[in-house]
Amino acid sequence: MMALYCPRPATGALLGGRCGGRGGNGGIVVASTARATPPPAKMEEGRLDRPRWSGETPLSRLVGALISFKPLYSVMKLASRQVIISTAEKSNIPWRDMAREILESDVHKEFERIRDPSVVYPDYYLNPFHAYDDGNLSWLAAAEAEAATMSIAKRAIPEASTVEEANKIVRGNWLTAIEQHHLKYSGNCEINDILDVGCSVGVSTRFLAERFPSAKATGLDLSPYFVAVAEYKEKKIKRKNPIRWVHANGEATGLPSKSFDLVTLAYVCHECPARAIIGLVEEAFRLLRPGGTIALTDNSPKSKVLQELSPVLFTLLKSTEPFLDEYYLLDLEETMREAGFVNVNTILTDPRHRTVTATVPL
**Structure pTM?**
0.84
Mean pLDDT of 265-281: 97
Mean pLDDT of 198-202: 97
* Alpha-helical runs (H) found in the chain: 58-68, 70-90, 95-103, 108-114, 139-156, 163-185, 203-211, 224-234, 274-287, 304-307, 311-320, 324-329, 332-339
Q: Give the CATH number, domain containing residue 121.
A: 3.40.50.150
**Which of 250 and 18 is assigned the larger pLDDT?**
250
Most confident by average pLDDT, 40-54, 86-100, 174-188: 174-188
Would you call 318 helix, strand, or coil by DSSP?
helix
pLDDT of amino acid 47 = 66
pLDDT at residue 87 greater than cutoff 90? no
Each residue's pLDDT tens digit, 159-173: 999 999 999 999 999
**Which of 188 and 298 is assigned the larger pLDDT?**
298
**Which of 269 and 71 is assigned the larger pLDDT?**
269
pLDDT of amino acid 106 = 93
**Average pLDDT over the chain, rounded to an integer:** 84
Indicate the DSSP class of residue 304: H
Among 7-11, 50-54, 96-100, which is the least confidently predicted range? 7-11
**Which of 312 and 304 is assigned the larger pLDDT?**
304
Each residue's pLDDT tens digit, 16-69: 343 433 333 333 222 333 344 444 445 677 666 777 767 767 767 777 776 666
Whole domain around residue 346: which residue ranges? Answer: 3-359
pLDDT of amino acid 173 = 97
Domain count, the chain: 1
pLDDT of amino acid 307 = 84
172 φ/ψ angles, rounded to the nearest 5 degrees: -60, -45
Give residue 6's region: left, alpha or beta (phi > 0; psi -120 to 50).
Answer: beta
DSSP 170-182: HHHHHHHHHHHHH
Mean pLDDT of 172-195: 96
Mean pLDDT of 332-349: 97
CA–CA separation, 179 vs 110, rounded Å? Answer: 33
